[in-house]
Amino acid sequence: MEYYLDVILPITLQRAFTYHITEAEADFIKVGMRVAVPFGKNKIYTALAYRIHNNPPLIYEAKTIHQILDETPIITEPQLKHWEWIASYYMCSVGEVMRAALPNALILESETIISRNTEILVKDVDLKDDEFLIFEALQFQTSLKIQDVISILDKKRVLPVIKGMVEKGILKLHEEIYEKYQPKLVRYVKLAQGLKTEEKLQELLEMLSRAPKQREVVLTLFTLEAQKNVPIKVAELTKASGSSSAIIRTLIDKAILEEFHIQKDRIEYQGDSASDIKQLSAVQEEALVTVEHHFEEKSVTLLHGVTSSGKTEIYVNLIKKQIESGKQVLYLLPEIALTTQLVERLQHYFGEHVAVFHSRYSSNERVEVWHNLLSQKSKAQLIVGARSAMLLPFSDLGLIIIDEEHEQSFKQFDPAPRYHARDAAIVLANYHKAKILLGSATPSLESYFNATKGKYGLVELKTRYNNVLMPDIELVDLADKYKRKRMKGHFSDRLIEEMTLALEEGQQIILFQNRRGFSPIVECVTCGHSPQCPNCDVSLTYHQYRDQLRCHYCGFNTIMPKTCDACGNATLDTKGFGTEQIEEEVKVLFPDHKVARMDLDTTRGKFGFEKLITNFEQGEIDVLVGTQMLTKGLDFRNVKLVGIMNADNLLNFPDFRAHERSYQLMAQVAGRAGRTDLRGKVLIQTYNPHHRILQQVSTNAYEDMFKEQMNDRYNYHYPPIFRLIKITFKHKDYNKVNLASDWFAKSLRQVFKANVLGPEFPPISRIRNLYNKNILVKIPQNQSLPKTKEAIMKIHNSFNAVKDFRPVRVVLNIDNY
């Protein structure tokens, strides 16, 4: 009997790949264990064992596996089922889901190892200088890595030298794989056995009387050990005894101290143990009871509560019960940068049960969360993370909370899997028979629609906690203000008045502008030319702080020219405005107050964001200017005033969701105002004060907005009434993209008739030198989704059979929100 193993490779491969294994291996390997396998040309990949069987592959000869990497599976059964569902629903390979799920450090790398070919005799004189250096190094060590050669030769291009030496038969190459995860070992010391009695210690101290520093170390360690009765870290000892690690090293060498290592998690909760959760108000209590009541019949419930209504405290109550019953909880947030505040709050209640799965954590740190969850440790019972946390090895989920469920960052765009974390989490919950709570002050139309239809439970909180009033929202007519010369820069007199008032009262201000940089367009007033990105079809944004023009799509940047590239006149002017310009204007208007800016440019780095938030919380910043980043669930005590600098570019965005999104964004920014006893004030500057969405935002009329927008969705056949699949074509050749997408659209129309839109260029038709063109397929409710996808795949296959089309990249995006 022959044995075969199907594996999942972390790449785009529609089928599992099969390897030959021995009977003993077949006995040992379990689904979900990692195996190293050869694939392609001399490459070794980390794969996951998927299925063991006795059928050889038909069209290729099965190779043998290279190595088994685990003793036990590193993924769980429901996790694998969920990955398969994601692959099938979002039309990608399981390998791509695996790639998105596994922390990098769990995917071993193969590396080229260089060694000497001992079978031939080499004479130094035959070697060139570079060759000699490598050869010499290999006299002292048995092997070298490419990186070693780079430092030996002190240059980047070393491959030609190595290749030459391989051809001459001097060197041999082979691939070796290595584990990237490095456990963190903490160094401890203790007094050597036999020295621990008072008597021995006295002897020892006498012996060390002429080495006072060493004596001090021994004495300190003895005291610490007696006091604490826990292992003493080397770091702690050096500090307490005021010595150096060299002295400790000497004592270890003298066998007076013994060192040992303990493996530690990198992220450990340091605070006190958990404290009591807050007493819910009567309104919150009622909402909680209703949520639980819905859960008896429905797996999903939507908690629609205005900003600051105390939703988080309701989640906390639900989480507490789950943790007490030993279940796992997943808490999904839209953007992980914004977790700091929430994680602190959750740790306050749940102490070390909280584990954060954070894209800004190092890969090693993420591996630790993975393993803690896999072994069902209580320290990973409540997982907080952004969308990819949903792909972790859960085995016993009781509850999933999706906070700010309307946020579009729950949808992954590139690369595959292009999943929507909210929708995929609902499927995940079903595998565990877990419950899902969606929470938002501004639910997505999808979720609210499902709730009104009775598919989801619905619970509404219409008042803020402690009866704090909803902010007072005022619309400021920009056209009128400009006409009557009531503007200073981009600030209306009303905004300046309210800012002055708030600052006089010692309150804080948030100003929202959804563009970063100084101004999005630079234009020559003489000839009208405006500098464009060489790789993308967009104008370059002026960043005054660095005196640069930058592309926000590909990162291209160049120094701001003094004169126009086209006509040579020094008449370049800026148009439109971004956060940088607003910040500058605030500095001029309120020179005695501190202003800061929060956008992509100021929050890079691991703690960039946290630092700004802390500074703002501690009152070191009076005015915070920012983009979208400001909106997401931040809870600030002293913000009295929120200003939206210009509502119009939100409303005019060319997308069927623009109005829904504008409502959500503005209601969320407005929600940052007045969270304690004083009533918040919001000013929205706009050229369209009569716009329905602005009226709805200013009167907090979510349901009106919902009804009106749903009307449009019915009429124009958009989600949540119809489903959407977007097919994007990408290629650097403009004509190729046109031909390919036209062909595809024509074939689609034969099947789906009028439900095919496009092909059409998006507003920015070229990004990073690739032209993009989109086709939308609309799917009516009564049309089978699997059959639709099948038909699309069929067309895709015929498409790939056309040689001219094959180089065109086709991207399928299901439920393109």
User: Measured from the CB of residue 565, what is the shortest distance to Zn ion in angstroms?
Assistant: 16
Out of Zn ion, ligand ADP, none, what residue 713 binds, judged by CB under 5 to 8 A for its kind, is: none
Closest CA to 487 of 475, 474, 477, 500: 477
Binding region for Zn ion (CB under 5 A) out of 474-482, 552-560, 673-681, 686-694: 552-560
End-to-end Cα spacing for the chain: 50
Considering the rule CB under 6 A, would residue 6 count as an interface residue with ligand ADP?
no
Binding region for ligand ADP (CB under 6 A) out of 179-187, 199-207, 279-287, 568-576: 279-287
Considering the rule CB under 6 A, would residue 407 count as an interface residue with ligand ADP?
no
Rounded CA gap, 344 and 352, in Å?
Answer: 11
Q: Which of 431, 553, 590, 687 binds Zn ion (CB under 5 A)?
A: 553
User: Measured from the CB of residue 460, what is the shortest distance to ligand ADP in angstroms?
Assistant: 12
Cα-based torsion angle of the residue sequence 159, 163, 164, 170 in order, rounded to the nearest 10 degrees? 120
User: Measured from the CB of residue 339, what is the shortest distance to ligand ADP in angstroms?
Assistant: 14
Out of ligand ADP, Zn ion, none, what residue 765 binds, judged by CB under 5 to 8 A for its kind, is: none
How would you classify the pairing of strands 681-686 and 472-477?
A: parallel
Between 305 and 393, name the residue whose CB sits nearer to ligand ADP.
Answer: 305
For tokens 């464009």, name the residue. 532
Between 288 and 478, name the residue whose CB sits nearer to ligand ADP.
Answer: 288
User: Measured from the CB of residue 132, what is the shortest distance to Zn ion in angstroms?
Assistant: 46
Amino acid occupying residue 513: Q
Phi and psi, residue 265, nearest 5°: -75, 145
User: Measured from the CB of residue 383, what is the shortest distance to ligand ADP in angstroms?
Assistant: 19
Out of Zn ion, ligand ADP, none, what residue 556 binds, judged by CB under 5 to 8 A for its kind, is: Zn ion
Rounded CA gap, 621 and 615, in Å?
Answer: 6
Residues forming a β-bridge with 466? none
User: Measured from the CB of residue 555, what is the shortest distance to Zn ion in angstroms?
Assistant: 7
Considering the rule CB under 6 A, would residue 341 count as an interface residue with ligand ADP?
no
Between 281 and 532, name the residue whose CB sits nearer to ligand ADP.
Answer: 281
Give, as ranges, the residues between 288 and 317 that touch ligand ADP (CB under 6 A): 305, 307-313
Instruction: Quote the DSSP letter at residue 629.
Output: G
Considering the rule CB under 6 A, would residue 278 count as an interface residue with ligand ADP?
yes
Q: Which of 362, 363, 526, 535 binds Zn ion (CB under 5 A)?
A: 535
Q: Which of 91, 551, 598, 642 binds Zn ion (CB under 5 A)?
A: 551
The three-state secondary structure class of 744 is: helix
Phi and psi, residue 501, nearest 5°: -60, -50
Rounded CA gap, 273 and 270, in Å?
Answer: 9
Binding region for Zn ion (CB under 5 A) out of 144-152, 284-292, 546-554, 631-639: 546-554
> Which ranges constitute the DSSP H helices of 605-672?
608-617, 648-651, 658-670
How would you classify the pairing of strands 541-543 and 435-440?
A: unpaired
Out of Zn ion, ligand ADP, none, what residue 648 binds, judged by CB under 5 to 8 A for its kind, is: none
User: Measured from the CB of residue 556, what is the shortest distance to Zn ion in angstroms?
Assistant: 5
User: Measured from the CB of residue 530, what is the shortest distance to Zn ion in angstroms?
Assistant: 14
How would you classify the pairing of strands 328-332 and 397-403?
A: parallel
Between 637 and 749, name the residue whose CB sits nearer to ligand ADP.
Answer: 637
- The enclosing H or E element of 496 equals helix 493-504
Instruction: Quote the DSSP letter at residue 193.
Output: T
Considering the rule CB under 5 A, would residue 536 count as an interface residue with Zn ion?
yes
Put the strands of the sheet holding 354-357 in their side by side order.
Answer: 354-357, 382-385, 328-332, 397-403, 435-440, 300-305, 457-461
In this structure, what token pair is assigned to residue 274? Answer: 């958990």
How would you classify the pairing of strands 397-403 and 435-440?
A: parallel
User: Measured from the CB of residue 536, what is the shortest distance to Zn ion in angstroms?
Assistant: 3
Rounded CA gap, 517 and 453, in Å?
Answer: 44
Out of ligand ADP, Zn ion, none, what residue 313 binds, judged by CB under 5 to 8 A for its kind, is: ligand ADP
Between 306 and 386, name the residue whose CB sits nearer to ligand ADP.
Answer: 306
Phi and psi, residue 136, nearest 5°: -65, -45
Between 385 and 576, name the residue whose CB sits nearer to ligand ADP.
Answer: 385
Considering the rule CB under 6 A, would residue 668 count as an interface residue with ligand ADP?
no
Out of ligand ADP, Zn ion, none, what residue 281 binds, judged by CB under 5 to 8 A for its kind, is: ligand ADP
Out of ligand ADP, Zn ion, none, what residue 554 binds, judged by CB under 5 to 8 A for its kind, is: Zn ion
Out of ligand ADP, Zn ion, none, what residue 310 binds, judged by CB under 5 to 8 A for its kind, is: ligand ADP
Binding region for ligand ADP (CB under 6 A) out of 274-282, 472-480, 499-507, 752-760: 274-282
Considering the rule CB under 6 A, would residue 673 count as an interface residue with ligand ADP?
no
Between 470 and 475, name the residue whose CB sits nearer to ligand ADP.
Answer: 470
Between 103 and 310, name the residue whose CB sits nearer to ligand ADP.
Answer: 310
Considering the rule CB under 6 A, would residue 284 count as an interface residue with ligand ADP?
yes
For residues 521 and 539, the answer to whether their CB atoms sit within 8 Å is: yes
Considering the rule CB under 5 A, would residue 549 count as an interface residue with Zn ion?
no
Distance of CA 160 to the CA centre of its chain: 39
In this structure, what token pair is assigned to residue 374? Answer: 């896999």
Considering the rule CB under 5 A, would residue 533 count as an interface residue with Zn ion?
yes
Between 280 and 330, name the residue whose CB sits nearer to ligand ADP.
Answer: 280
Give, as ranges, the residues between 625 and 664 that touch ligand ADP (CB under 6 A): 635
In this structure, what token pair is assigned to residue 6? Answer: 């199907």
Out of Zn ion, ligand ADP, none, what residue 312 binds, judged by CB under 5 to 8 A for its kind, is: ligand ADP
- 276: CB partners within 8 A, 6+ apart: none
HSE (side-chain half, CA atoms, 13 Å) at 512: 30
Give, as ranges, the residues between 459 and 488 that touch ligand ADP (CB under 6 A): 465
Query: What sign results for the dihedral spanned by CA atoms 493, 498, 503, 504?
Result: positive
Closest CA to 427 of 289, 330, 312, 291: 330
Distance of CA 247 to the CA centre of its chain: 45
Rounded CA gap, 454 and 448, in Å?
Answer: 10
Out of ligand ADP, Zn ion, none, what residue 541 binds, judged by CB under 5 to 8 A for its kind, is: none
Rounded CA gap, 6 and 20, in Å?
Answer: 9
% helix, strand, coil for the chain, step of 5: 40, 25, 35
Considering the rule CB under 6 A, would residue 614 count as an interface residue with ligand ADP?
no
* Contact positions vs Zn ion (CB under 5 A): 533, 535-536, 551, 553-554, 556
* Contact positions vs ligand ADP (CB under 6 A): 278-281, 284, 305, 307-313, 465, 635
